[in-house]
Amino acid sequence: MPAAGNKQVRPLVGGIRVEGRRGVDRLAGATLGLVISADGPLFRFVTAGHAVGNPGDIVGQPELALIAGVVETNLFADGADLAVVSGSVGVPAKVGGVWVSDNATITVKFDKPGLPDIGADVVLQGATSGAVTGKVLHKNADVRDGTTGELARNVVVVDYTQPTTVGDSGAPVLATLQDGTPCYGLHGGFAIIEGKRVGWLTPFANVEW
Ordered structural domains, the chain, with CATH: 12-97 (2.40.10), 108-206 (2.40.10.10)
State yes or no: pLDDT of 31 exceeds 70: yes
**Mean pLDDT in residue range 166-195:** 96
Burial class (CB in 10 A: 0-12, 13-18, 19+), 56: exposed
- Euclidean distance between the first and the last CA atom of the chain, given in angstroms as a whole number: 30
The pLDDT tens digits for 106-153 are: 999 998 789 999 999 999 999 999 999 999 999 999 999 998 888 889
What residue ranges in the chain does DSSP mark as E strands? 12-14, 17-21, 27-31, 34-39, 42-47, 58-60, 67-74, 83-87, 93-101, 104-107, 121-126, 130-144, 151-160, 172-174, 183-193, 196-203
* Rounded-to-integer distance, Cα 178 and Cα 106, Å: 6
Q: Are the CB atoms for 109 and 84 separated by under 8 Å?
A: no
Instruction: Give residue 24's pLDDT.
Output: 67
Q: How far apart are CA 60 and CA 70, in angstroms?
A: 9
Q: Model confidence over 33-80: pLDDT tens digits?
A: 999 999 999 999 999 999 999 999 999 999 999 999 999 999 998 889
114 to each of 44, 54, 104, how far by Cα in Å?
Answer: 21, 28, 27
d(CA 59, CA 87): 9
**Residue with the larger pLDDT of the pair 78 and 202:** 202
Is 196 buried (19+), middle (13-18) or exposed (0-12) by CB count in 10 A? exposed
Entry pTM: 0.96
- Ramachandran region, residue 157 (left: φ > 0; alpha: ψ -120 to 50; beta: rest): beta
